[in-house]
Each structure stands twice: as C-alpha cells, then as structure tokens.
Amino acid sequence: MEFLASCGITLWQTLPLGPTHQDGSPYQCLSLFAGNPLLISLERLAGQGWLSPEALPGDGPHPQRQRHALLMQAQQNFFRHSAAEQRTAYTAFRANEAYWLEDYALYRALKYSHDERIWTQWPAKLRDRDPEALEEARSDLEPIIEHIYFEQFIFSEQWQAVKSAANVRGIRLFGDMPIFVAHDSADVWAHRADYDLDEQGNPRVVAGVPPDYFSSTGQRWGNPHYRWERIAASGFRCWIERLQRQLQLFDLIRIDHFRGFEAYWEISADHPTAINGRWVPAPGEALFNALQQHFGALPLVAEDLGLITPEVHALRHKYGLPGMKVLQFAFDGSAKNPYLPHQHETNCVVYTGTHDNDTALGWFQKLPPEQKQYVDDYLGAPGEPMPWPLIRAALASVAHLAMIPMQDILMLGSEARMNTPGTTSGNWRWRFTWGQVTPDIPERVRHLIQLYNRG
C-alpha cells in the first residue's frame, strides 16, 4: 500500500479474488463469494500469534500442502488461545455469511473427499442434494468444513485490513465480477435450478463469444447459462447477494462481459468451439432496475469490449455506467477509431491494456514497421521508450479513470503476459517481485499523475 501511495495512485484494480480451479483462472472460480486461501498472509498470522515465526518457510511462495498444514496449525492456535472478542468475531462471520458459506464449505469438503472430482460425478444423492445424505456428509466431514470456515474468516479479516489501509491513504479498491459462473462451483451445485442443466446436472448450452479479435474460432468458456426467467421471478436475489458481497470487498466493481446482459452467445454443450452459436436476449434492463432499486447509484464499470451493438451502448448509458477504452485496440489506422484518446468520452475508463492483452511493450514490439510508425506519429514521435508514451496517452485522456497494468509500469515484455484468450494453459501465472521495482518508479509515476491532474 505504501508503494501505491508513494506513486500518488488512488485506485487499485485486481482480478477476481475467488478460489480457482487448477488452471488458475479467476473467471472460473469455485465460488462467487469465497476468497482464495492462497491469498492469506501466513506472516500476518504469525504476527497475530496464531503461527510461530520459526514455522514459516523462507522467502518465496509457499507450496500449497505446506500452506494447508500451516493454516491448520493457525486454526488450532486460534481456537486455543484467541480472546473472547476474536471468537465473537468468528461466530458473527459464520452467521452473517451463512447464506453462501455453509454451502461452499460443504461443497469444498465433498470435493476433497471425492478426489476433487466435479460434483456431477459424485454419488447421485450428494449430486442431487438429498437432505439426509447432506446431513450425513456434514457430520462425517465436520473437521474439514470447520477448517474451511476458518480460512474464509481469516481471508475476510485480512482483506478488510487491506481495504482499510488503502482507504485511509485515499486509495479505493477496484474489483472484478465475472458475469458467468463456473459449472464446477458451489453456486451451481447449491442452486442448480437457476441454471440450464439436464437431469444429471450437465449444461445443455454453454457460454462464450463468437470469433473475434482474439480467436478465429471464438471463445468457448463452458459456463452454464442462467435460467433468467427463474432468476427474474426471484427478484434477482442471487445478483443482489453477489453485488452485496463484492461491495464488502471493493469500492468500485468492473462487471465482466457486460454485453451478455443485453444478449448472450449460446453454444450447444456438445460443440467443441464457439463458432456455431446464437445470440439470445437477456433481461439486462430488468436486472439493473432491480440492482438500482436495492443499492441506489451503482458503483460499476461495464466491460464493453468486443462486438458491441447500439442496444448494448443504450443499456450502459441508461444506468450511467462507464465503459472501457483499451489503447492497444486504437491504432488500426482510422482517425475515427473509438479507442483513440481524442475520441474518448469522460465517462469511461482507459487502459493501456488489460489482463487479456499482451503487455504494452510486447504488443508494440510485435507490430509491423508501418504500424509502429503510425503509433509514433500519433503519440508525437516520443523520445522515451515504450510503454511510457502509451502510459502518458492514457493519463492525458479525458477518461474519468486511467488504469495502468503493473507489467507496463515495470516495462516488461510478452514474457509477463497474464492471459491469452482462447487458450487453457500457461495463463494466470505472472507475478512481480519487489526487486523489479526500481527506486525511480514512484517519482516517475507520481510526476505523470500530477502532470495530468490524475490525483
């Protein structure tokens, strides 16, 4: 947090924080509500007295099994030695978050006891949530379930400490909420009737997008689609609960794939690619009416990239939601390209690139010579190395907010790319180290923020 404050940065955006599957994608999480226990700071637990400092391994990431063992130790020490006030906080967390926590803890315990298999491969009574079978499982798996409660309590406690530390420094937290839900998740298992599934729990149709900038075969995400008529009949309860939870964690939230609220791409579940599908209307207006009625002004940003129709723009404008402008999409040679800074509107968020793009340096290095020249001409034949000219263009935009990926601040190339859409391996692995943050970076960033009145 001190680094952000020293740079003069007042908004910090993260990827979704949920527990992931083995591929690491934060857009295919095991829960819409839970936090990823890999984000729990063991050092902070040691500082609270729940772990011995000597038990912690050296620098670097801790192997998952080792982390699990240490978290088990922390749980034991917490219940043996915590003060009454701390135990009261734990009890209150269990009660306040029971609407999602109980199903999630049972789901995770059942996955563990079934070798991490998807819930559709569990015994039929557990798959179909037979009450007697679930009660027996809760009894048999009580120690595992209790540990998952503890993990989520600690995650929540630590994240609230992060949020408080940010907010007191004038830094807001900017979250990210996927539109769709992973099929293998506590939410789909626990609320199966809200999704378009067959009798065995398998999707009839799945989500994705048709061929686009990123992939000639489109992107087949595989998420089950909602039964929107049922969700609407409930007053959009599940979406209200989702947003309520995210607003506990963040000050501002990006909604991924906003165009799916106007119409979504429906692919038959037996099709291997997203080429063959159809657009199906979605009740976006009714949903956002319900959210606005419940929350008032919506602190949301619409991810409106891709194939965007006038109807999608109208939906976003009706609720005053900022859209996104990505500078890497701007330089196709047309002065009317909406992503060029001189075309930006105030109510938007400009990015040099997102987690789905190459880094700005990697992108620029791959451009053909004539396109590099066009970029240089537009940016005023800059004398400083890429990606700083692109960073300057983002900060100079009239867009209300400007977001710069850490990879671009560190001037990293394609080796630091976070995700390549349409691929399923080798993504979501990039991490920076503090050794990469040179002493000149805070002053350089702070100077540009002040120069363009971004404070």
Active-site positions? 256, 303, 356
3-state secondary structure (DSSP) of residue 206:
strand
Answer for the pair 254, 326: CB distance below 8 angstroms, yes or no: no
The packing angle between helices 98-113 and 84-96, to 10°, is 90
3-state secondary structure (DSSP) of residue 6:
helix
What distance in Å separates the CA atoms of residue 322 and residue 302, rounded to the nearest whole number?
Answer: 6
C-alpha distances in Å from residue 88, one per residue of 95, 101, 152, 153, 271: 11, 17, 15, 12, 51
Strand partners, 221: none
Q: What is the DSSP letter of 121?
A: G
What distance in Å separates the CA atoms of residue 252 and residue 403, rounded to the nearest whole number?
Answer: 13
DSSP 289-358: HHHHHHHSS--EEE---SS--HHHHHHHHHTT--EEEEGGGS-SS-TT-TTSGGG--SSEEEES--TTSP
Segment (H or E) for 349: strand 348-351
Tokens for 69, please give them. 């063992």
Answer for the pair 416, 407: CB distance below 8 angstroms, yes or no: yes
* Close Cβ partners of 65 (under 8 Å, ≥ 6 residues apart): none
What distance in Å separates the CA atoms of residue 378 and residue 355, rounded to the nearest whole number?
Answer: 24
CA 53, chain centre distance (Å)? 32
Answer for the pair 344, 395: CB distance below 8 angstroms, yes or no: no
- Closest among 9, 59, 176, 4 to 433, alpha carbons compared: 59
